[in-house]
Amino acid sequence: MRDIQKLYRLPEVIGDRKKGITGFFPISKAAFYRGISEGKYPKPVKLSERTVAWREEDIREMVEKISNAAFG
């Protein structure tokens, strides 16, 4: 049996004030995509030609790594 992975779309990861969505890591879309290209943040999983999402485990790992760096 296959494990079902939870996937997060961009607003769930970085938040969206207009829609009232609190993200795990509240930064701008441009800063997040720049971090992906620099290797700081996880790469998305392509779901279709115009749709991407991030694996829950990748996002949790990113948040933990950033928290540990900030708070020791």
> Could you read off the pLDDT of 4-24 as tens digits, one per residue?
889 999 999 999 999 999 998
Radius of gyration of the chain (CA): 13
pTM for the whole thing? 0.84
- Among 2, 11, 51, CA closest to 29: 11
Does an H or E element contain 48, and which? strand 45-48
- Reported as a single tens digit per residue, the pLDDT across 57-71 is 999 999 999 888 877
